[in-house]
Structure 1
Amino acid sequence: MGRSPEALLRRLSVRQRMTAIIALLLLPLAVLSAVSMMVLNEQEMAFRDSVEESVHGLLPLTTLEHYLQQALVDELLAESHDSVPDFAGLTQNVDNSFSSIQLGANAKDVPKQVIDDAQKAWVQARPSIRRLVEQVHARHVSGATASANTRIELERAIQDVSSARASLAGVLRARYEHAAAQRSRQLHWLMWSWLITLAVAAVLIVIFLRSLLRPLQALTQAARHIEEGQAGVRVDVDGRDELAVLAECFNRMTASWETTQGHLQTEAIKDPLTGVLNRRGILSQLDAELDLHRLRQQPLSVLAMDLDRFKFINDHYGHSTGDRALTWVATTMRGLLREHDHLGRHGGDEFIAVLPNTSHAAALEIAARIGQLVREGAAREAAYPEITIGVATAPDDGDLAASLLEAADARLYTQKKHRHAGSPASATSPPTQ
């Protein structure tokens, strides 16, 4: 079964992954940037060459064609008599115009000085115009035959030049269109190359970031669960990178913390000498069982037990013997109680037993068995104490811990008074109501 890219990346360290991702991103981008610059420079040079080729190829032909057409026009004008003005008619018309103006010189709309200045300018220009027109007439008469041949040659040359220009323009246009298509293909190739490269880079970045963020998120979530008090929190370790090492350390730290917490909790609620619950632990269990009693409406009984002759054992046999006596009594009682019953050391030689779902009569029977077994042990061993037991049951004696313990203590001390007074009452006798 193949491993995911993220799992494969987790086999590398974070530094190796960062180096690899930078190399995989920068190398293609650098190569693609260099290729793009080369292609764009090549296209710019090709465009410049195309423009220069068009200018140097077409401009001379176009200029030559223009000059030839201008020469043909000049030649046509030269051989056409219509292009030479009727000097006599024109000058006579101009003279008549000035004469008519002079006859009406009293008119107020045209100043006389303006008219005089215009007539003087005309008189000065008239001889020069006459000489130019006479020269044109002389050239027309002498070169009529030569002008015809020149016109034909000019027309043939214009046609040849125009054909050459059209052919060259077609070649240049085809080459330009081919170059433009090639440039378009190159630009499309560059565009797709950049898109593919950026897409691959985005995928690599996402995979790289997931390989970093998912372990961090798992560690964060595990830390929050521990903060909420959950037990058995562990982080899956997958990979060989620094985050995997951190997850392993986190798991070991969590296991050590849970072990330490368990020890602390045990020490907080258990009596280190006898191994049964201490005062805090037994009272806590009593409160919890009372909550269930109120919820299920089942009877709950409490045994308040006090050891007799314990001070005498401590004073005559020593405290170590007293400790062994306490341990023996606790072990004896624990062996007679049921699995779901709770036993705790309430004080120096005082014990409390919490009996869930137990009626008052059943609690009296259990108390009688405990008392009988302890008395038998005390009869065999002088360093073992006897025991007195008081019984209280909820809800008859109340449904609070204080009321139950008070009732059990009261019956316990009643038993002691009867014993000290020489009464035959025993721990198995029913408590006084």
Structure 2
Amino acid sequence: METTMKPHIPFRSSMSAKFIAIILLILIPLITAIIIDREFLLPKITATTNETVEEVTIELKPTSNLQNLVSRASISLNNYVLAGEPRERQEFTRLSKKIDKAFNTGGKHFGLAAEAISFRAAKLEWEQSKTIGHEILNNSAGPNNQSVINKIRRFDRHVNLSIRNLSRVDAITVKEAAKQGSAIKTVISQISDVADTFLFIGLLIAVIIGTVLSRSILKPLKDLEKATVRLSGGNLAYRINNERDDELGRLAQAFNLMAKQLEKSYKLMKTLSTHDQLTGLYNRREFYRRLNEEIKRYRRYGHPFSLMMIDIDLFKSINDNLGHQVGDNALYFIAQSLKEELRPTDHLCRYGGDEFIAILPETQIAGALAFANRTHRSIASSQIDTNDGRLINLTISIGIANFPDNANSVDEIVSAADQALFIAKAAGRNQVRCYKNAA
């Protein structure tokens, strides 16, 4: 079984697709940064912070309480020795039990060896001070007894050492907390570095996107603007160099097509405004424009020219007897015959009806007469088809005038050639006459 392959359709990079791609290029780094921040960095910071706070809280609370209890126990014992109040004795006993319990349970939370060592040292000092305290409580001697005084001193010394060791535990804990805080700052600094990196990447992408936009969107728009200005200024031949296949490319194609149509229409309108539609020769309006230019050229450079007015003999009879189609064929035939005889520098025009007029630059009257006679003979020896199988002969009458010999203005030169033509027709038609011997 034969399989037919689908034709390959090239991907059209549309403006919509480009804008979506641009948005994705901007969003992807930001989304990536957010994911990294939320899934990896923030949980790490939160966990580290919580652990540090929890550890510091757990470790500082029992040692602070112990310092307070030991201080209160020392005060109660000293008050009992000085005042002998039973209430202070009971308070010391109660606080001692509480301190023992705190020392037995408090050492389980320390994570550092230095903390545990200082805590055990504080416990040993407390146990010694507690033993001395009970000896003092069981001694019946008064406060002024030297033995009691010595024991009180020993008791206070051990209490101070216990409190000092507990303070050392606090200092170690605070130092560790500071260390943990430094670690947190390091993590935050790393996050900041990562954020700066993504910010730099984002800015770099923005620059790249700006460049891409400038090349792929802004430049074509500027080219289109430039082309529009050129077109509105009259340069209808201007085209946009376009190799794109997106919306802007299709817009440029539409512009080029529009410009081509405008150029074509303009050329057609210009041709219609300057040429005769039937014969393709210059029309009367264009004749007068070129005649004025030729007179200006003479007055600037002194170059003479001749004017030749041509009329088809008995043309009305052709139209009336053979029809307008044959008449049109006769006009076209005469126009083509005259064009074949003229030089490229000459200007042949249809003056109106069955009349033609030719401007012969750089031509004196003798040269114009030679051209007229040659053309006259060529047409007289030719025939045209009447569309019904018959052939007819055509003849023309020609009047010639020269500038500046016979005239000094536009009206005068046309009038001179017209008078010469009138004389040629009055002489029996099929004649050539010059203005100088028209009479």
With structure 1 as the length reference, what TM-score do the two structures score?
A: 0.70
How far has the Cα of 1:286 moved from its partner?
2.8
| Separation (CA, whole Å) in 2 of partners of 1:347 and 1:376 | 24
Mean Cα displacement is larger for which, 342-351 or 144-153? Answer: 144-153
| Counterparts in 2 of 1:394 and 1:220: CA distance versus 1, 3 Å | farther
- 1:277 alignment counterpart: 282
Give the aligned residue type for 2:226.
Q
| Separation (CA, whole Å) in 2 of partners of 1:431 and 1:57 | 139
What secondary structure, in the 3-state scheme, does the structure 2 residue paired with 1:346 have? Answer: strand
Q: Between the two proteins, what is the percent identity of the paired residues?
A: 26
| Counterparts in 2 of 1:321 and 1:178: CA distance versus 1, 3 Å | closer
Does 2:232 align with 1:227?
yes
Does 2:416 align with 1:392?
no
| Counterparts in 2 of 1:140 and 1:389: CA distance versus 1, 3 Å | farther
- 1:427 alignment counterpart: 433
Mean Cα displacement is larger for which, 238-247 or 366-375? Answer: 366-375
Give the aligned residue type for 1:270.
H
> What is the root-mean-square deviation of aligned Cα atoms in Å?
3.8
- 2:32 alignment counterpart: 31
- 1:175 alignment counterpart: 180
| Separation (CA, whole Å) in 1 of partners of 2:321 and 2:360 | 35
- 2:111 alignment counterpart: none
Q: 1:339-359: per-residue Cα shift (whole Å, max 9, x none)?
A: 121101111111111223334
How far has the Cα of 1:177 moved from its partner?
1.6
Does 2:261 align with 1:252?
no
- 2:415 alignment counterpart: 406
| Separation (CA, whole Å) in 1 of partners of 2:321 and 2:227 | 57
Gaps of 5+ in 1: 1-8, 81-136
What secondary structure, in the 3-state scheme, does the structure 1 residue paired with 2:433 have? Answer: coil
Q: 1:318-360: per-residue Cα shift (whole Å, max 9, x none)?
A: 4344333322322222112111211011111111112233344
How far has the Cα of 1:184 moved from its partner?
0.7
| Separation (CA, whole Å) in 1 of partners of 2:403 and 2:240 | 48
| Separation (CA, whole Å) in 1 of partners of 2:379 and 2:343 | 17
| Separation (CA, whole Å) in 2 of partners of 1:291 and 1:73 | 133
Give the aligned residue type for 1:285.
R
Give the aligned residue type for 1:301.
S
How far has the Cα of 1:186 moved from its partner?
1.7
| Separation (CA, whole Å) in 1 of partners of 2:398 and 2:81 | 160
| Separation (CA, whole Å) in 2 of partners of 1:410 and 1:263 | 35
Contact 1:269 1:277 in 2 (8 A): yes
What secondary structure, in the 3-state scheme, does the structure 1 residue paired with 2:349 have? Answer: strand
Contact 2:298 2:304 in 1 (8 A): yes
Contact 2:230 2:238 in 1 (8 A): yes
| Counterparts in 2 of 1:332 and 1:45: CA distance versus 1, 3 Å | same
With structure 2 as the length reference, what TM-score do the two structures score?
A: 0.69
Q: Which structure has the larger Rg?
A: 1
- 1:5 alignment counterpart: none
| Counterparts in 2 of 1:276 and 1:293: CA distance versus 1, 3 Å | same
Q: 1:112-144: per-residue Cα shift (whole Å, max 9, x none)?
A: xxxxxxxxxxxxxxxxxxxxxxxxx96444831
What secondary structure, in the 3-state scheme, does the structure 2 residue paired with 1:388 have? Answer: strand
Give the aligned residue type for 2:13.
L
Contact 1:321 1:383 in 2 (8 A): no
| Separation (CA, whole Å) in 2 of partners of 1:256 and 1:342 | 29
What secondary structure, in the 3-state scheme, does the structure 1 residue paired with 2:308 have? Answer: strand
| Separation (CA, whole Å) in 2 of partners of 1:181 and 1:375 | 112
- 1:57 alignment counterpart: 59
Residues 230-241 of structure 1: matches in 2 within 5 Å? 230-241=235-246
- What number of residue pairs does the alignment pair up? 363
Give the aligned residue type for 1:385.
T
Does 2:354 align with 1:349?
yes
Give the aligned residue type for 2:18.
R
Give the aligned residue type for 1:390.
I
Give the aligned residue type for 2:60.
L
| Counterparts in 2 of 1:334 and 1:425: CA distance versus 1, 3 Å | closer
- 1:362 alignment counterpart: 367
| Counterparts in 2 of 1:152 and 1:284: CA distance versus 1, 3 Å | same
- 1:84 alignment counterpart: none
Contact 1:238 1:244 in 2 (8 A): yes
- 2:86 alignment counterpart: none
Contact 2:364 2:402 in 1 (8 A): no
Contact 1:371 1:389 in 2 (8 A): no
- 1:306 alignment counterpart: 311
Q: Which has the higher contact order (CA 8 A, sep 6+)?
A: 1
What secondary structure, in the 3-state scheme, does the structure 2 residue paired with 1:230 have? Answer: coil
Contact 2:403 2:413 in 1 (8 A): yes
- 2:14 alignment counterpart: 13
How far has the Cα of 1:206 moved from its partner?
4.3
Contact 2:401 2:434 in 1 (8 A): no
| Counterparts in 2 of 1:196 and 1:426: CA distance versus 1, 3 Å | closer
Contact 1:303 1:391 in 2 (8 A): yes
Residues 26-425 of structure 1: matches in 2 within 5 Å? 26-38=27-39, 39-40=41-42, 42-44=44-46, 46-62=48-64, 64-65=66-67, 139-141=143-145, 143-204=148-209, 206-208=211-213, 210-377=215-382, 383-394=393-404, 397-398=407-408, 400-417=409-426, 419=427
Contact 1:375 1:387 in 2 (8 A): no
How far has the Cα of 1:189 moved from its partner?
1.1
Give the aligned residue type for 1:354.
I
| Separation (CA, whole Å) in 2 of partners of 1:50 and 1:42 | 12
Gaps of 5+ in 2: 1-9, 83-140, 384-390
